[in-house]
Amino acid sequence: MVIVMKTTAKREDMDNIERLLERLDLGAHISEGSERTIIGVIGDKRLLDGVPLELMAGVDKIVHIVEPYKLASRAFDPNPSTIKIGDETIGADKLTLIAGPCAVEDRDQILEVAEYLKNCGVGFIRGGAYKPRTSPYSFQGLEEEGFKLLAEARERTGLLVVSEVISTEFLDEAARYVDIIQIGARNMQNFQLLREVGRVKKPVILKRGLSSTVEEWLNAAEYIINEGNYDVILCERGIRTFETYTRNTLDLSAVPLVKEISHLPIIVDPSHGTGKANLVTSMSRAAIAAGADGLMVEVHPNPKAALSDGPQSLDFPKFSSLLDEVKKIAKVLDRSI
């Protein structure tokens, strides 16, 4: 349920509604737009049966949200969300670039990538410390040492750190080192992990599951938001279909669709979406044209020697070329990188 306030509503009117909801053990999420303010009611709406909210001072109308994802829906908040992290803002006119290796392999590797990305004007570095791999014999990551190396890269370059958490066991550890917590595709419906992440005061990138519908994806975001963490960034990274030439099928139609039904920012990962380095630039251009708020791209100094996902990683010259290409698309759409 959303309470839409009149343009003439006073602060006192909103305070009265908040107090009423608090007395009924209900929560309130206030979103102040440029034209009017809305109050999202959190909790069991049946507690409001018989309560004449429409008659309270400052109230314009009551909107009942039919989508199962209440807090992530456009009905809850008609204004696109923006997430501020340090000097960076995700979801604004400036497109967000997150880049780096699939896995942190050693100190020299991650510092070399960080220095390069800083010189390119990229604001975020990504790298896996704990790696959920299909095979138990594949490189599993440096674990906490990987987080420490990412933190060192941040200290040297000022880049903000993005890294994946694969279990509630490592959540507190990750929160000490990273700026954005990533929930990978395999964990999109790990509901206990989502709940715990929702209680951490860190922005979250939520990747779409390998075979998940958009509604399931938004419901996963709902688990995080429902715990009080509204800083959720969706990431389209391809879904599993019958196609075998590419690693996944990058569903770029999800970008404008999510923009229509949700207020959450959405970025695209063309590296996992295709699994092929030669397709990443084309899909990056298409993602920006479709309205994505940013990109997550895998970059490695020597992809052929990468311990994880080398075939989909770009070397430095190819990533520089990608930047040149997406800047052209961004300019047409009055967005910057």
Over residues 239-261, the pLDDT tens digits come to 999 999 999 999 999 999 999 99
**Are residues 48 and 113 both part of a single domain?**
no
Over residues 157-174, the pLDDT tens digits come to 999 999 999 999 999 999
Q: Which residues contact 236 (CB under 8 A, 6 or more apart)?
A: 208, 250, 251, 252, 254, 255, 258, 266, 267, 268, 269, 273, 287, 292
What band does 34 get if pLDDT is binned at 50, 70 and 90?
A: low
Distance CA 29, CA 39 (A): 6
Is residue 215 assigned to a domain?
yes
Distance CA 144, CA 229 (A): 24
Length of the chain: 337
Beta bridge partners of 27: 42
pLDDT at 140 over 80: no
Over residues 79-129, the pLDDT tens digits come to 899 999 999 999 988 999 999 999 999 999 999 999 999 999 999 999 999
Q: What is the CATH number of the domain that holds 168?
A: 3.20.20.70
210 DSSP 8-state letter: T
Over residues 260-295, the pLDDT tens digits come to 999 999 999 999 999 999 999 999 999 999 999 999
Contact criterion met (CB below 8 Å) for 297 and 98: yes
How much is the pLDDT for 334?
A: 94
How much is the pLDDT for 212?
A: 97
Is residue 70 assigned to a domain?
no
**Are residues 171 and 314 both part of a single domain?**
yes
**Are residues 135 and 6 both part of a single domain?**
no
Is residue 313 assigned to a domain?
yes
Question: What is the extent of the structural domain holding 40?
Answer: 2-63
* Among 20-24, 224-228, 299-303, the least confident range: 224-228
Is residue 170 assigned to a domain?
yes
**Are residues 48 and 91 both part of a single domain?**
no
Rg (CA), the chain: 21
**Are residues 254 and 311 both part of a single domain?**
yes
Q: Please, what is the average pLDDT of the chain?
A: 93
How much is the pLDDT for 35?
A: 66
Long-range contacts of 41-47 (CB under 8 A, 24+ apart): 41/1, 41/2, 41/3, 42/71, 42/226, 45/1
Last residue of a domain, one of 63, 92, 116: 63
**Are residues 204 and 290 both part of a single domain?**
yes
Contact criterion met (CB below 8 Å) for 273 and 250: yes
212 vs 27, higher pLDDT: 212
Percent of the chain whose pLDDT exceeds 90: 79
Over residues 292-323, the pLDDT tens digits come to 999 999 999 999 999 999 999 999 999 999 99
Q: What is the CATH number of the domain that holds 7?
A: 3.30.70.1140
First to last CA, the chain: 37
**Are residues 42 and 137 both part of a single domain?**
no
**Are residues 14 and 98 both part of a single domain?**
no
* Strand-pair category, 88-90 with 83-85: antiparallel
pLDDT at 135 over 90: no
Is residue 73 assigned to a domain?
no
* Strand-pair category, 2-5 with 37-42: antiparallel
Work out whether the CA dihedral 72, 194, 175, 177 comes out positive or negative: negative
**Are residues 231 and 95 both part of a single domain?**
yes
How much is the pLDDT for 138?
A: 78
Is residue 74 assigned to a domain?
no
pTM confidence score: 0.89
Is residue 100 assigned to a domain?
yes
**Are residues 152 and 296 both part of a single domain?**
yes
pLDDT at 63 over 80: yes
Last residue of a domain, one of 63, 95, 116: 63
| Count of domains for the chain | 2
Over residues 146-157, the pLDDT tens digits come to 999 999 999 999
**Are residues 48 and 146 both part of a single domain?**
no
Is residue 238 assigned to a domain?
yes
**Are residues 167 and 295 both part of a single domain?**
yes
How much is the pLDDT for 174?
A: 95
